[in-house]
Amino acid sequence: MIIDCHGHYTTAPKSLEAFRQRQIDGLKDARLSPAKDSLVIGDDEIRDSIEGAQLRIQRERGTDLTIFSPRAGGMGHHIGNAVTSALWSGICNELIHRACTLFPKNFVGVCQLPQSPGVPPENCIAELERCINEYGFIGCNLNPDPAGGYWTDPPLTDKWWYPLYEKLVELDVPAMVHVSASCNPAFHFTGAHYINGDTTAFMQFITADLFRDFPTLRFVIPHGGGAVPYHWGRYRGLAQDMGKPPLKDFLLNNVYFDTCVYHQAGIDLLTKVIPADNILFASEIVGAVKGIDPETGHYYDDTRRYLDAVTTLSATDREKIFSGNVRKVYPRLAARLAQPR
């Protein structure tokens, strides 16, 4: 079985984005604020939006199941306030639940959290519990920078985040570290801000002893870990200079990387530097880069093709990357797959 740990509902019906725009307009003029029940999306609209995109790509590329979440760039935690974010996150998560219900063999949900700059993360706990307990979701996406490129909240290792971590541990669900849109004109959102977020999160983990306090807390760092694999020696050396244990002992029981890397040399490096036990297959479909690579004639985001071409992986390693590791990191998924289907 091939499980893609990183997929977004980037093809949601246009009425969802129209509702969001009305919500944003309402921040300036309350008379323009839409009522929640004004958004009406039928099941057929959801089917149509997925069958020609994510579902078609699954079939073409031979993958079986995608861990599915709202569009990352659309989370928009910097917009409005906690009330704004709560309404928007609830709507997006409900739509993911409906999509997963319509295609239960193909998708399983993870939630968007109603984060807002400066608002304590414990404010997200109610939505997290609702999605896990009522919708059957198996994890969440956690934005380390709700300010959208300005990093106004404490680092992920700060005790400010601890109430949320306590709930993640209690529910036994992981978080994928995933920023949203960039408000900072210096950072292109998918080309710079996303990679910055991944890299910054990993460096924050090095600087503290978070996993001493939460030994079973688990994070997935997407996009191949940002710059981390390419500069693995730098991070090993920095940890050593700080008097930390080797990274394989200090972080790799809790931190995992996905394979959203869009060229063969990048996947080759990732699989050479990072242990196979810490790599989860992912493609991000339909995500940041949708075109065809003129050097190969194949889609950039066809990451299974790259993994199939890696010559240094054993059959056991491939099984871990394609299926075994994601079951370990997302135990609620493992439990679901163990049930008769």
Catalytic residues: 284
| H or E element, residue 266 | helix 264-273
The alpha carbons of the chain give a radius of gyration, in whole angstroms, of: 19
**Both tokens of residue 50?**
């997925």
How big is the CA angle at 283 (ends 308 and 57), to the nearest 5 degrees? 90
Instruction: Round to whole Å and give the CA distance between 168 and 332.
Output: 12
Main-chain phi, psi angles of 204, to 5 degrees: -60, -40
- Interacting residues of 317 by C-beta distance below 8 A, sequence separation 6+: 271, 276
Nearest to 327 by CA among 55, 64, 58: 64
Instruction: For residue 30, give the nearest of 91, 84, 109 by alpha carbon.
Output: 84
In this structure, which amino acid lies at residue 91? I
Edge-to-edge strand order for the sheet containing 175-177? 111-112, 140-142, 175-177, 219-221, 255-258, 279-280
Q: What count of other Cβ atoms lies within 10 Å of the Cβ of residue 134?
A: 10
**3-class DSSP state for residue 257?**
strand
